[in-house]
């Protein structure tokens, strides 16, 4: 699914150089402004709840989020917290109708947040077009939104950053497909799902990051550059999700979820059948070939998505490079030893994640091999990513 699993690794303390006292201010060259006013106390508590979700639930993303200055860190933690909650509905067991209704409840809350009621006076409703610092009184908010710390924090974040809140509805649609047991015929179908559940989060994250000084001026025009950045954020989300799918292959299959395309299963002569003990029954060499093929496709999406990094400011670039670097390294280990992921979920040690994050903070991640483009990644061999397992 979109966000890392529920069992947390230890989250590191802020790395050297990751100061937490940088001021809020105008996001360079993007045309949007992070409001510099104080955060109301009960909004601060709402943000604190979201940051607690990140600390306790984010296995990988926390290493990148901690590199951001406080306003962006709070906003991106809020994005994560809501994505995590929606994602949990897609993953958990329970009656299909009840889970779909819970997803629709999240959709209704989002729409209430985006659209103030007709009788609203405006500033006291925490919507992205009406919120002002200190105005989060909540008197005119729907009761379930006013009582929800994630929605309260999201309302404030959307007033401070240009968050495309409609992207959360794409995530809801993707999770609804999970609940309904959707399967995918070809790679393009799977990519469409990945865009819903992970590309959407990439675009929301870009709303928090903004673009670096000069990115718009050097990119051939503002709208064109923003579209290019959004496409790269989307591609990076696809790459992360394809990595999640390979990492969770056995866990998902035991829950009767299959994401790998039927066309690819036929190509490699695999069924993903399970024995009574929950082991895959396909010949190991076929499964290994399938996994390396899918990993090569994912690497192509990383090559495209990592081109977002030069468009971002230093801390946003470090955050993105840390998240992507951790997942790319995980993908390399999966491809280098498919048998390990066939036996259960594979993860990186906390010290490895901290090392990747530290390297991202110093700019080292941009010097790593980016792999092949998507057009060159469709062979059976994994290529450059084998080095990521070292």
What tokens appear for 189 in the block? 């179908």
Tokens 């940051």 -> residue: 51
Average pLDDT over residues 126-138: 37
Mean per-residue pLDDT, 143-152: 88
Question: Considering only CA atoms, which of 81, 67, 50 is closest in space to residue 316?
Answer: 67
What pLDDT is stored for residue 387 in this prediction? 33
pLDDT given for residue 248 in this prediction: 94
Query: What would the pLDDT profile of 301-314 be if each residue is shown by its tens digit?
Result: 999 999 999 999 99
**Tens digits of residue pLDDT in 320-339:** 999 999 999 999 999 999 99
> Tell me, what's the pLDDT at 345?
81
- Residue 46 pLDDT > 80, yes or no? yes
pLDDT at 7 over 50: no
Q: What was the pLDDT predicted at 132?
A: 35
pLDDT at residue number 59: 78
Contact status, residue 320 vs residue 311, Cβ threshold 8 Å: no
Is the confidence at residue 128, as pLDDT, over 90? no
d(CA 66, CA 169): 26
pLDDT higher for 124 or 225? Answer: 225
- 194-217 pLDDT tens trace: 999 999 999 999 999 998 876 766
Distance CA 286, CA 381 (A): 13
């Amino acid at each position: 699914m979109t966000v890392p699993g529920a069992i947390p690794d230890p989250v590191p303390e802020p790395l050297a150089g990751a100061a937490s006292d940088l001021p809020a201010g105008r996001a360079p060259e993007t045309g949007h402004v992070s409001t510099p006013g104080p955060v109301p106390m009960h909004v601060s508590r709402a943000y604190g709840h979201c940051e607690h979700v990140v600390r306790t639930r984010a296995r990988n993303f926390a290493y990148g989020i901690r590199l951001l200055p406080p306003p962006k860190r709070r906003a991106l933690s809020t994005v994560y917290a809501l994505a995590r909650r929606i994602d949990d509905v897609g993953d958990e067991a329970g009656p299909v109708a009840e889970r779909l209704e819970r997803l629709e409840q999240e959709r209704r809350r989002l729409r209430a947040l985006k659209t103030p009621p007709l009788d609203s006076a405006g500033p006291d409703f925490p919507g992205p077009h009406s919120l002002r610092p200190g105005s989060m009184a909540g008197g005119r908010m729907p009761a379930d939104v006013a009582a929800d710390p994630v929605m309260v924090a999201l309302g404030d974040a959307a007033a401070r950053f240009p968050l495309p809140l409609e992207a959360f509805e794409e995530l809801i649609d993707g999770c609804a497909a999970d609940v309904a047991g959707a399967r995918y015929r070809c790679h393009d179908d799977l990519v469409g799902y990945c865009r819903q559940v992970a590309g959407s989060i990439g675009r929301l994250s870009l709303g928090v990051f903004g673009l670096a000084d000069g990115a718009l001026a050097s990119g051939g025009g503002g709208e064109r550059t923003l579209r290019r950045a959004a496409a790269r954020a989307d591609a990076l989300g696809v790459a992360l999700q394809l990595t999640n799918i390979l990492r969770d292959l056995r866990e998902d299959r035991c829950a009767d979820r299959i994401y790998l395309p039927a066309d690819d299963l036929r190509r490699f002569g695999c069924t993903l059948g399970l024995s009574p003990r929950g082991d895959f029954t396909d010949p190991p060499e076929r499964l290994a070939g399938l996994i390396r093929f899918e990993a090569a496709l994912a690497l192509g999406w990383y090559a495209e998505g990592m081109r977002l990094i030069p468009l971002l400011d230093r801390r946003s670039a470090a955050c993105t490079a840390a998240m992507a670097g951790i997942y790319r390294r995980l993908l390399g280990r999966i491809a280098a030893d498919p048998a390990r992921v066939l036996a259960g979920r594979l993860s990186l040690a906390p010290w490895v994640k901290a090392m990747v994050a530290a390297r991202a903070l110093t700019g080292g991640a941009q010097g790593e091999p980016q792999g092949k483009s998507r057009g060159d990644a469709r062979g059976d061999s994994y290529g450059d990513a084998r080095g990521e397992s070292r």
